[in-house]
Structures are given as structure tokens and as C-alpha cells.
Structure 1
């Protein structure tokens, strides 16, 4: 039965073709994310790529070609190729398997491609501009640290560049004049606080652009930069984090807000900023991947909710109508899907922790308090939102309750909250899980004695941290590509990631004592609960050694520990065949553990 849930497919739009007749769509119909062409009128879907590895792609404007980006076995070393949209022939564009190439915008005439690459020293990402036809390219922004290209101005003169700051959650925005031989960068965003600056949403004459930022405030709001005066000001205040895009003609400004995890999208006048219409989203969920048609009459987007697997939707601006463009295969009765309720629990210092709770309507435990799986997101700069997660729905359908908290450090609740776990505050986020458990224990429909914790990446770190610092609370853990030691993680992660992660977790040089103390592996003798580990052998972010070292120690201690390593995966499981192997085994593990006598590993209430 779990295979049916894991076989549910998704589809998401990328951008419109030059004539607006087709949408480039990414879908996992074949078992990995591949590129498709979707006829906007008929809904016919044509598969364009069929590769072993996942493929990213986008239409080139004004050219009948598609940019493709792929890696090898999840190693994240993206290589760029070009596909002829008619013949489907593919040719190399920017290929060097030793380095990473991240596309960051194509000029509106389809001639220039901007991308970031770490070829200079393997660590820092410089910005290059390449002529797609001739192959000529040049460095336009270099030796500035970790940078990303963020799109061209409508006239192709200016390239936006985002550069990571020296603190977590901080970046700068620059404009580079690519029409001069030795361009000087215009610094759009001088600031002193920790602040994020989003990519530009240009007006068609390139006189100004909108962007999202939270400098000088807690919430990400919308600002406008004027090219003539080289200055900017906030123009739209929002009570929740916001982002925006503008159509090619400059007639429509889309503003999307994240309201307690739920998306809200509205159209505004780019000049007066007056509200024109709210887009009637299909439900309470998450809308993303918004893209305007070239003529500005249509807006495509991806929508998902807890009861709606992700598909492509189309909004007609003229008539205000909404229609579904894709209906991805779903072998499970959608009426059985569960929507969560939103709650908040108070942590040790008074901070409120948002929590989505999924409760079973059927299954073996409905007449008694339900066992609980606590799902912790990765990042940590991320947010659990009300979207479709097949594993969650299977667990709920099998009688488990699933609690999905956003512990401190999560995004979506303001800058202050997102920095409450930085560096030496790391373990405060672990204490939030203790507050979550207390909340579960006070819920009459839940059995907190049978609470387990599951997470991926940073969420995997939180799994291990909960098991070692709160050993009396958790019956088991499932750690997917998680960190077991902050020290060995930072020492062995890919060199291009180390500086970025040290900003979040702490420096190996300056904070080693704390990194040792905050590592679950340091305190592994406290861990008593059974553990299930899943990892990709090619993970460039959290090396597979993180899983192997904790598995080895637990085996030596005689504690049940199961480890699955997939040779063709990286940071997570991107291939359906591997998910179909790993996740049923993980659920079987939970079923077996919770069927055992809990007294062997649950003794009371934690005092840490």
C-alpha cells in the first residue's frame, strides 16, 4: 500500500515558450524529475528528456531551444547543455565535471546566458556571461565569495548578482553592466544588519525594479529601486514575508505572501500598487513557480496542499478564471487524505513554536491515543508548510498522528525567529522539541510514550540530538542524510559549502569547543532508542560518513541501528526506485519498534 502513496506524481511549470503556446514543465512521471512540453490549450504533455538523473530545464526566450542542467548521481556538479526544441538534439554548452555551473538568467533575446561557477578555486562562485551562439564568454563578477546570477534587465544591459554575506541569512545585491569591457558593479544594497535581498523584478524600460528585502525590519517586504537616482525605498508593507515578479510588459505585479505557511497571491498595478485581484488558489496550500506568459495574459504556477499533490495551474488575467493544466497520476483515493490543524506550543523561554498536526481518521489506533511521528524539516533555514507529503499521508492513513513543527531557526516567521538558533544558540532549537513533546503529552488523542522523530538533513541532526539530549522522550528515530557530528560535518562537507555552513553553525577555528559539545556523536552514550538511517553515497553536503560513524558506534553498543546507503544518490533520494526501497523499510522499522515493550527504552520524563 505504501508503494501507491510513493507512486503519486507531481508536475511544476518552469516558463512559457517564445510563442506562449507551450509551457516547459518538470515532472517525475518516469520516476525522476524530467523535462516535458505542455500544450497550454490541449493539455497534451510531451516528454523531452529521459535520463537516469533528474533534469532541470528552461526555454530560451526568442529561441527554439531549451537549457538543460544535470549532475551525476546527486553530486550537485551541474553541467549545462542545450536542446533543440524541434529535433531534441542535445549539445554541450558549459561542461566541466570537476566544477559546478549554476544558471542564473538568460537575456530576453536569448543570446546571453549568465551562470555561477567555482572553477577559479573550487570554493568561491564567480559570475560568467556566455554568448549562446558563439560560445564566447567572460568573467563579469569575480573574487567576491559565494555569488549567484539573478537575471538580466529587460534591455540586457544589467545583470543582477547576489553575494552571500559574512553572517547567516545575509546577502548583498549588485548590478553589473555587461555591455562594457571591464564592468564596475553597482552596490544596490549597502546595509549593516543581517538582511536578505531578493532578485529584481524589472519594469520593461529598465528604469526601475521591485525586490523583496527585510533590511531594517523583521518581515520581508517589497521595495523599489530607481536606476536614475540609484536609490530605493519600501513601497509595499506586508504582515508576512512576501516576494514578487512583474510580467514582461510591466502591466502586472504579482505579490505572493507566506501567511503562516499558506500562500496568498494577488495582482497589483506596478505604478500605483493598487490591488487589482486576488488569485483564487485551489485550496489552503503552497503556490510556487509562478511564471507569466510573454503577452502577460496568463500566469502559470505550481500548487500543492496536504490533500492535493502538486500540479500545474493556469490563471487567466483577463477573465479571472483558473484551470488545472495537469493531473498527475495518483493511485490513492484522494478522499482519504488528511488536512492538518495549526497549533502553537510554548517553549522553555516563551517562544511560540508553530506546529501542524495530522490526525488519523481510520486505522488500528483510532479508538485509543495514536502514536506520533514528529517530522522536523531540514535547512535549518527552511519552513514546513501545508503541502502534500506522500509519506505523511501514508503514516496518517496507517493510524499514526504526524506532528510537523517549525522550531526556532525556521524561516517564514520573521528575521528574529530565524536567527534564534544561530551558532552557539543551536541547542535551543533542540529544546523546542522537548516543548513539542510536552504539548503532545497533553493532547488526549495522542500517545506521547510512542512518539518518534524523523527528519532529513538538518532534520536528521535534530533526530539524533533529540535522541541523545532527550533519551527518555523518544521511542525511535529515522535519520535521513543527517549530521551526527558538527565537527566532522564541517571538516568533510564539500569545500564550496564549508564557509556558508560555518556562518550558520559556527567556525571550526573559533567555535570548535561548542561544535564538539553540540554534536550528537559526542553524547552518543546517552542514546537508547532504535535508529534507522538513510543516506546517499555521493552526498556533497552531508557526507555519508556522518551516517556510518553513528551506525558503527550504535552497533558496538548493541543498540538497534539499521543503515541504508544508495550508491546513485546524493543529498536525499531523487529516484523513485530508491524511495520505494527505503521508505517501506523505514515504516516497517517504526511499526516493529512501537509494537515492542516500551519499557526497554522509555523510562520517564526528560529533565534536560
Structure 2
């Protein structure tokens, strides 16, 4: 088995839920597709689902033996909700909320009801819906329109905190919706250029915590008081982004600190934010996904916290933290083999760009020094970030002799509001210019700039195509995974809900079409001379397959080598191991040939 096949075959574990006994619900992909598993307090595993497609969430119904499961079909992200009984020997799924044409996302399960969001009203806006578990009766709690990002009910059930996409790029608006009424409090304005995440209610429901960069460059932990309506600072560090989760015991606070791609956790005092102790997690990794894609989870009594952890040398695993003793129990796959030795770890650099801005960059070097070739790997988003995480392709590329350069070009999160705003709308091509600066810097690493390729997914795929189109003399090859060939056709053909959210970042079809055309690699396809490999899922609801098809057709018409790999049972990216084992070794072989 090759190194890449070995790495791709290593199973990953992600936390979904925990009860007061320490029993876990986790996602585990040992079968090749992530399924729901139960892990007992003693560490015994049991598979709960065996579906053809991945499970995206699972939550216990308190006080019962039942579990609510969220799953999609073929990677289309249209979540459907089902329920299973843990005492059922067959563990059969019973449909709960099934609208296959729409996106239904599980929010929270309580003993008597569940909350979920759905765009079934008009296909664009996401409503917040409460479903009574005993009767199946549903009540729409909020239908104010927009793309709902986060939802968090208060412990007493009176309020629901909702964040939705705001007006400016990468902004969110925080609302409080009073259950059973039409009363809504606008905690922040729709027009504020403010990013919000990690909503966490105080145990007595008197207020909540939210991570926000309101009126500052870095994300701080703020406290909102329901009685006064005041939003005030709880914990601020002008050097780093912070996020916090209140412990149900009312005394403690779990704080995540993002520092140049590493995310660490520490226990603080809830009343004033004073540091009590670091959790002692392994250094050099991420103990929570940036921007709270996988927040730590407290058990309802605050005895345990579940932490999703991974690093450049550790596949995704779950760490159960016991607050009383500080014990850390790592929950890995039950059949986890030994990891390969001497995996590369990133060096941190700063690279000067065309306008003097400093681009944060990680460099992964081959163990033997490599063959002088380089692969620049660009993350998606664009307002995401490359972090110190497990990435089999990076390891395999370095193992093949390529030096892997992983930048956080302007527009990336994790380095302050100013940095992530430097690519908004008409500044889009400045992020592409960052690629040129990175290329010009390669000789300082002892690399051959004539043997440099671009690799990226989603927005990173757009950057690959933009680099090849706008800087054809620099790049020797490109690998585009689910990327956009044209910002115009992407916005025209993406899901309705997605268009509303993404026009804030890229510009609108109605007002900014001329610039969107200028910034589209497809309109510069005559300039592309490097060979290209394109990978795409047929069911992608974000970047339609037509984006891959049109760039492949345009290059074929010009006799530029381009191979298109389409996977009929995938969506935005490849999530099934059988498809990963087909596509990514081909990408590795493609780069070995073009950069030799």
C-alpha cells in the first residue's frame, strides 16, 4: 500500500453528543463512509447506522433510549432527520423530517421537542422550526429570512439565539427570538461588518456569550445581559482570536485561542474570564475547528466536555475532558493502526506580497530535502484558514519529494478582521497576486520556480484556475477540486440560498457583473498553458458540476491537457474513502509527472 493510501485509510472520529454518564455519540468512518456510533463510558463501541451515505449529526433524546440522526444523500447536503431506538435489535431508522428537496439541519434535541432549520418555505430562506416529539406538531419560531448560520436555545427554553448572514462580507447578525411570540431582539445590526460565532448561554439563561470582532480587529468573547440589553467584553486578547463556551455548572468557561493556525484550550473562571489552567492538550494542533464548525460540547451537568482534536501528525479524534479531575481520555478508532513515522510538521513563515502585506505561510518539507519542486496548496472559503490540521495529501506530497507551501492569503480568517477583508469584492484579484508573491519567494526555500504547481479545493480551486489564467508564466500544473471557473456562472447556478450568502463576498450579479467577468478564470482561458486535473462531485449544491465541465471543455478545445474526474455519489468534496482512494492517488501521480 502506498503512503497516500495508508493515510487515506486511517479512520477519523468526530464528536456529536455526550450524556451525563460520559456516553458518547460519535461519527466514525471505519466503513469508508462516516456512520453514527455509540461509545460507552467504559470504552465499548457499537455501530448505530449502516447507510450508503454519511451521517452529519446525531443527538440523544434526553431521558429516552432514542437518537435523532441527520443524514444526506450522495453528498447533496440536503439533511434529512430520522430517529432510531437504541433498544431495537435491528436499529432501523424511522423517518422524522424528510423533505428530500430541501435542506433540514438538526439544531438541538430536548426531551419533548427538537429544533431544526429548513429552507422548504421558498428554497432560499432558512426558518427555525420546533417539532413536538410526542405529536409531530410543528411551530415556526422564526422566519425572518436569510441564511441562518447558528442557532442556540436558552436553557430555560424561553429564548433562541440566532445568527444569520449579515449585509457586509463575512458578517453575521445576532438575534434573540422569544419562544411563542413574535418578539425579536436585534442584538447586532444587519449592516454591521461583524463576525460572530460560538454562542453559549449562561446556565441561568440571564444572558449569553458570543465570540465577536465587533469594533476590533480580533475576535473576543463578549457577554450579553438580557436584563439590561448590554453587550460587554468578558475576555479580550488583541493578539489572538478567542471563543468561549460556558460550563453548565455556572462557574467555568472553556476558552479556545487561535494562534497562527494552532487552536488551544484552557479553563477559565466564568465570572470574570480569569485563567484557571490550560487543558494540557497536545501542542501544535487544533482543539476546535476555526470559526466553530465543530465546537467543544459540554455534558448537561458540566462534568464532561467533548473536544474534536487533530494535528499534522494526528488524525481527527475525540478527547473527553473530565472537569473535576482534568483527565483527558482520547477516543480513537477501535481499529486504528500505527501511524507512519516521521510525518512532516509545518514551519511558519511570512512572505512579503506586492503591496508590502505579509502573507502567513506554512511550509512542509520532505524528509530527504525533496527534489526542488513545490506545490502551493490553497484553502477554500475564502474566509476560512489553513490550520495545523491532519491533511493526508500534504503528507503524501511531501513524501513524494515536493515541498508543500500552505498559505493564508489575504481574505483568510485567523489573522484579524483587516486581513480577512482585504479580498472583498473588487479586491478579489489582490489575493491572486499573493500567489505570484509566493511563487517569487520559492527560490528562498531552495526550490525551482519552474516546477511549481497549484492545488486547491472550492475557493482554493478558483485560486488554482485564477493562478493558471492570470499568471500563466509562473505555474507548471494545477489540481482543481470543486472550484469555480467563472464567478458569474457560479452565482447564476449555485443553490438559491448559497447565492444570497456568497454575493456579499464576491459581488452581486445585478451590480458587479462586469468585475465578476474580469475576475473569472474562464474568461482568460486562452492564457492557460499548464496541464490541469479537475475533481468534482456530481451532486455539489455549492459549486455546480457545470463549473468543472466548462473549464475542462474550454481547455480541451485549445489542446491543453485537462482530465476531469466526476464522482456521481459525491457533493462538495470527496467524503467516501473509495472515491478518495481513486481520485487523490491520480492527483499525486499527475503532479509527479508534471513536476518531474
**TM bucket, shorter chain:** over 0.9
Q: What is the DSSP-based 3-state SS (H/G/I as helix, E as strand, rest coil) of the residue aligned with 1:287?
A: coil
Structure 2 unaligned regions, length at least 5 = 289-294
2:227 and 2:189 mapped to 1: Cα distance? Answer: 17
| Deviations 1:24-59, CA, capped at 9 Å, x for gaps | 11111111111111123x322211111111002122
Q: CA deviation at 1:447?
A: 2.2
| Deviations 1:447-481, CA, capped at 9 Å, x for gaps | 22211110001000000000011111111000001
2:140 and 2:116 mapped to 1: Cα distance? Answer: 10
Q: What is the DSSP-based 3-state SS (H/G/I as helix, E as strand, rest coil) of the residue aligned with 1:383?
A: coil
- For residues 149-160 of structure 1, what are the structure 2 equivalents within 5 Å? 150-160=151-161
TM-score w.r.t. the length of structure 2 is 0.95
1:68 and 1:121 mapped to 2: Cα distance? Answer: 24
Residue of structure 2 aligned with 1:378, choices 365, 375, 380: 380
Q: Is the 8 A contact 2:371 2:402 kept in 1?
A: no
Q: CA deviation at 1:61?
A: 3.0
Q: Does 1:190 align with 2:189?
A: yes
Q: Relative to 1, partners in 2 of residues 1:126 and 1:474: Cα closer, same or farther, differing over 3 Å?
A: same
1:105 and 1:378 mapped to 2: Cα distance? Answer: 28
Q: CA deviation at 1:295?
A: 3.1
Query: What's the counterpart of residue 351 of structure 1?
Result: 357
RMSD: 1.6
Q: Relative to 1, partners in 2 of residues 1:455 and 1:535: Cα closer, same or farther, differing over 3 Å?
A: same
| Deviations 1:372-399, CA, capped at 9 Å, x for gaps | 1110000101000011111111111121
More deviation in 98-107 or 568-577?
Answer: 98-107
- For residues 479-558 of structure 1, what are the structure 2 equivalents within 5 Å? 479-558=480-559
Q: Does 1:281 align with 2:281?
A: yes
| Deviations 1:228-276, CA, capped at 9 Å, x for gaps | 1122211211231111112222232111011111112111111132211
Query: What's the counterpart of residue 318 of structure 2?
Result: 312
Structure 1 unaligned regions, length at least 5 = 596-608
Q: CA deviation at 1:112?
A: 2.4
Query: What's the counterpart of residue 291 of structure 2?
Result: none
Q: Does 1:291 align with 2:276?
A: no
| Deviations 1:260-303, CA, capped at 9 Å, x for gaps | 11112111111132211111112210012412233323222121
More deviation in 98-107 or 306-315?
Answer: 98-107
Q: Is the 8 A contact 2:198 2:244 kept in 1?
A: no
Q: CA deviation at 1:369?
A: 4.7
Q: Does 1:302 align with 2:303?
A: no
Query: What's the counterpart of residue 605 of structure 1?
Result: none
Q: Relative to 1, partners in 2 of residues 1:528 and 1:418: Cα closer, same or farther, differing over 3 Å?
A: same
1:436 and 1:58 mapped to 2: Cα distance? Answer: 44
2:567 and 2:134 mapped to 1: Cα distance? Answer: 39
Q: Is the 8 A contact 1:106 1:151 kept in 2?
A: no
1:549 and 1:321 mapped to 2: Cα distance? Answer: 53
- For residues 121-520 of structure 1, what are the structure 2 equivalents within 5 Å? 121-148=122-149, 150-178=151-179, 180=180, 182-190=181-189, 193-238=192-237, 239-288=239-288, 289-327=295-333, 329=335, 331=337, 333-362=339-368, 366=369, 369-444=371-446, 446-520=447-521
Q: What is the DSSP-based 3-state SS (H/G/I as helix, E as strand, rest coil) of the residue aligned with 2:245?
A: strand
Q: CA deviation at 1:85?
A: 2.4
Q: What is the DSSP-based 3-state SS (H/G/I as helix, E as strand, rest coil) of the residue aligned with 1:172?
A: strand
| Deviations 1:497-549, CA, capped at 9 Å, x for gaps | 11111111111111111111100010111100000000111111111111111
Q: Is the 8 A contact 1:8 1:328 kept in 2?
A: no
Q: CA deviation at 1:309?
A: 1.2
Query: What's the counterpart of residue 80 of structure 1?
Result: 81
Q: Is the 8 A contact 1:116 1:149 kept in 2?
A: no
Q: CA deviation at 1:194?
A: 0.2
Q: What is the DSSP-based 3-state SS (H/G/I as helix, E as strand, rest coil) of the residue aligned with 2:515?
A: helix
Q: Relative to 1, partners in 2 of residues 1:475 and 1:332: Cα closer, same or farther, differing over 3 Å?
A: farther
Runs of 4+ in 1 over 6 A off after TM superposition: none
| Deviations 1:128-178, CA, capped at 9 Å, x for gaps | 111122111111211422224512111111111112112211111111121
Q: Is the 8 A contact 1:251 1:296 kept in 2?
A: no
Q: CA deviation at 1:104?
A: 2.1
Query: What's the counterpart of residue 602 of structure 1?
Result: none
Q: What is the DSSP-based 3-state SS (H/G/I as helix, E as strand, rest coil) of the residue aligned with 1:437?
A: helix
Query: What's the counterpart of residue 292 of structure 2?
Result: none
Q: CA deviation at 1:317?
A: 2.1
Q: CA deviation at 1:441?
A: 2.1
Query: What's the counterpart of residue 97 of structure 1?
Result: 100
More deviation in 57-66 or 571-580?
Answer: 57-66
1:212 and 1:483 mapped to 2: Cα distance? Answer: 31
Query: What's the counterpart of residue 606 of structure 1?
Result: none
